[in-house]
Structure 1
């Protein structure tokens, strides 16, 4: 996919994604020591395991299972044991990170510093630069308002393409009322993994539905899954008493919050999405982190793949 962003004015980094800012994150990655990355998760948690593929170094043989490639049968062991056995091989291909980016209208919201959509783009870019420095390919799938797919590419070119796509997708027409349940997005992602060994879901959780749990669980059978919850400050904590101007679809309104009860109900409604997604991720034992729109997303995004150690 060719990403063309040269003819648009760069975003301000607050309500619109700044391509220059995303590219500059490459310098941050260059100053950290890389830790081993978790490449695949077992169903019971985020434990790394061996991956197998054809044309690689032989690893072991096991009893034949339905669906195994008959071309990989271990005929010598089969003859000795009297039972069909299949050869398994150590995978020797580079890893691949697929980022699932939430682009629902709820992401175009922010009361502190920047929109959630901008923060999500910054986190995605940080993760991409970190991954390519570790020798992985990076790809991205948007869900919600946009349903674009950026196929995985390796090296700095892959990260640059991802940064360009983030800026281009963000500059597309304002979100409509289109809604894609998270379960549908995860089902779509399972069809376009393209050999991805890791998946990073970046979302505010408002698309999280009851079926998403099983879809996430299914996805962990194929790749290591991490979740980054992006939220606004008002979604995470009680707002101070006062009047709050809000704008949606070009219409302005004002919310008056005086009593503690009003403020708690307001925070509970605004924070329902992030709370729901965070709880779901933790209940499945997935690597999960949360950030608000004022935070530096670098450590949160890269920390989901291993401990980042400052260079000496």
Structure 2
């Protein structure tokens, strides 16, 4: 396991916990990922395996079921005690790009944890899952924090992702900036090399132009969407008075009548409803989870094998 920088860790509820993100590796380790061939992009949908004699050696990675045993890297296998496969210059491993929403609306939660923390947990699981399947993983933060982590392979790539998620969580709290989803997708679309994209958001930044940007992105990559929502955004709240805190100020919202509760839920859940409808309308893989759920099942469903269209 690569060394991880020492920093103040979050509580896993209102702040992302780096230790928890790294520990999720064990959870993903119990799941058997679909073996992935090295990919040569063809409209983001087809994959091919290119190898033979006379090609330049590029690097080695952990052996994946289905790899040609004639290409085992015996020296690295002997040093590490774990089977490794040689990759050559012509081969292109799959690359997963996680687009992570860091808007202020993500820093909200009434059950267990904030949406921002749940989003980071889902992104980390996606990273561990991808590298186990032989892919490289990178990430782009949009919204309050706008940073890029270039794709890396193996455990080092997943650890780098976890570190970035922790850092971005802290950086996003210092800035209250809005970025329409369409602009974030345009930035993501300019990042060449990723043949799979996972968008994680609560949908509050979803604008009308996002439909065209998402459709354009699907021409170059396979796109999946994970909508993260709070319980209050998914169902009518029970009658009562609800204390809410924002920017250090506490207020009480009275939700006693049916009309009040309905309007509150509709306004609060507008983002996740809009993004979910958009993903479904475009025929994308998508799932919705709340802040209590285990993201593992949703991530494996989104990133699992799918027959090319």
Change (3 A) 1:56 1:181: farther
Moved over 4 A (4+): 36-43
* Kept in 1: contact 2:145–2:175 (CA 8 A): no
* Kept in 2: contact 1:40–1:198 (CA 8 A): no
Pair 1:25 & 2:24 matched: yes
Q: Identify the residue that residue 208 of structure 1 maps to in structure 2.
A: 206
SS in 2 for 1:22: helix
Pair 1:163 & 2:162 matched: yes
Deviation per residue, 1:214-255 (Å, 9 max, x gap): 000000000000000000000001101000011112221110
Q: CA deviation at 1:33?
A: 1.6
SS in 2 for 1:101: strand
Q: Identify the residue that residue 196 of structure 1 maps to in structure 2.
A: 194
Structure 1: segments with no counterpart, 5+ residues: 58-90, 308-312
Q: Distance in 1 between matches of 2:135 and 2:120?
A: 19
Pair 1:239 & 2:241 matched: no
Alignment of 1:235-274 (within 5 A): 235-274=233-272
Alignment of 1:274-293 (within 5 A): 274-293=272-291
Q: Distance in 2 between matches of 1:41 and 1:292?
A: 34
TM-score (norm 1): 0.80
Q: Identify the residue that residue 78 of structure 2 maps to in structure 1.
A: none
Cα RMSD between the aligned structures? 2.4
Q: Identify the residue that residue 62 of structure 1 maps to in structure 2.
A: none
Q: CA deviation at 1:37?
A: 5.9
Q: Distance in 2 between matches of 1:41 and 1:110?
A: 39
Change (3 A) 1:192 1:279: same
Q: Distance in 2 between matches of 1:114 and 1:151?
A: 28
Change (3 A) 1:134 1:145: same
* Kept in 1: contact 2:131–2:157 (CA 8 A): yes
Q: Identify the residue that residue 300 of structure 1 maps to in structure 2.
A: 298
Q: Distance in 1 between matches of 2:190 and 2:8?
A: 34
TM-score (norm 2): 0.81
Change (3 A) 1:50 1:154: closer
Q: CA deviation at 1:176?
A: 3.4
Q: Distance in 2 between matches of 1:105 and 1:256?
A: 23
Count of equivalent residues: 266
When structure 1 is superposed on structure 2, of 293-302 and 213-222 the one drifting more is 293-302
Structure 2: segments with no counterpart, 5+ residues: 53-89
